[in-house]
Amino acid sequence: MHEYDDNYRHEFKYIISASSLLSQASLLGALMDRDAHAGEKGYYSIRSLYFDDMEDSLAGDNISGTDEREKWRIRIYDRDPGYISLERKSRKSDLISKSSCCIDRDTYGRIMDGTLSPGGDQPALLNRFLIGMRTRLLHPVVIVEYERIPFTANEGNTRVTIDKDIRSSTEFASFLKDTPLVSRPVLSQNMGLIEVKFDEYLPDHIAHAVERGNMRRETFSKYLLARRFTPDGLFTRPLTFTGQP
């Protein structure tokens, strides 16, 4: 099992309309490099299983805008269980940091059935998560799945991603299966989400490309958007966004 921890970086988010998605991707593709992980098709799929405690504290911190908050998730790419990542995402205002460790399928299974205990030979992040499962009763609450178009630039160590077809599901038993989940979209009118991450500065030409038209920064997370469609959903009405091109 491998473990790493990124330093804090800036993160901005924008909602983008379906009609603008292709033109935005084309513009960013002319200004930035396409992430090598996207392969020839230019995108990859992400499937994330999110956890929260019995009082939905992690979602509550997001809703209330708590300055320092965290999220726990297990993630796979392109529905491939050969690489399973346990991740803790931390936020301080507009700064984010992600710690992660790779786990195998057996470890995942023991996490899900509650038979894995903290141990000295396991990554510290995994032990911290397991302690959270015992003391805070962290448990699976929703799956978020989407397709990601990624771009990178050396200036500012900048990464821009366009996430589309964002869906939510509670088919936890099928998380590692290479099959579609029973799911539903979390944004109206097939809108997408742009995320911009950078270190000390965001290059002007990239900032202008991202914020063209009426684009404005948003604060919602995909996890929070998805929770409104779970049986104990946190929202009673659809979320709408206005002023987008």
SS (H, E, C) the chain: CCEEECCCEEEEEEEECHHHHHHHHHHHHHHCEECHHHCCCCCEEEEEEEEECCCCHHHHHHHHCCCEEEEEEEEEECCEEEEEEEEEEEEECCEEEEEEEEECHHHHHHHHHCCCCCCCCCCHHHHHHHHHHHHCCCEEEEEEEEEEEEEEECHHHEEEEEEEEEEEECCHHHCCCCCCCCCEECCHHHCEEEEEEECCCCCHHHHHHHCCCCCCECCCCHHHHHHCCCCCCCCCCCCCCCCCC
Q: Which residues 6+ apart lie within 8 Å of 22 measured at CB?
A: none
The answer to whether position 156 is within a domain reads: yes
Average pLDDT, integer, range 11-26: 89
The answer to whether position 132 is within a domain reads: yes
**What pTM was estimated for this model as a whole?**
0.89
Contact 81, 103 (CB under 8 A): no
Q: Quick one: pLDDT at residue 231?
A: 57
Total number of domains in the chain: 1
The answer to whether position 99 is within a domain reads: yes
Q: Look up tokens 């990178």; give the residue.
A: 152
Contact 141, 227 (CB under 8 A): yes
Average pLDDT, integer, range 181-193: 87
Determine the Cα–Cα distance for residues 98 and 4; give it in Å rounded to an integer: 9
The answer to whether position 200 is within a domain reads: yes
The answer to whether position 65 is within a domain reads: yes
The answer to whether position 245 is within a domain reads: no
Higher pLDDT, 125 or 221: 125
Q: What is the CATH number of the domain that holds 23?
A: 3.20.100.30
- Residue 2: pLDDT over 70: no
Percent of the chain with pLDDT over 70: 89
Domain extent, residue 99, equals: 3-227
pLDDT per position as a tens digit, 64-103: 767 788 999 999 999 999 999 999 999 887 789 999 999 9
pLDDT per position as a tens digit, 29-47: 999 999 988 888 899 999 9
The answer to whether position 58 is within a domain reads: yes
The answer to whether position 239 is within a domain reads: no
State the average pLDDT for the chain.
Answer: 87
Lowest mean pLDDT among 65-74, 126-135, 146-155, 209-218: 209-218
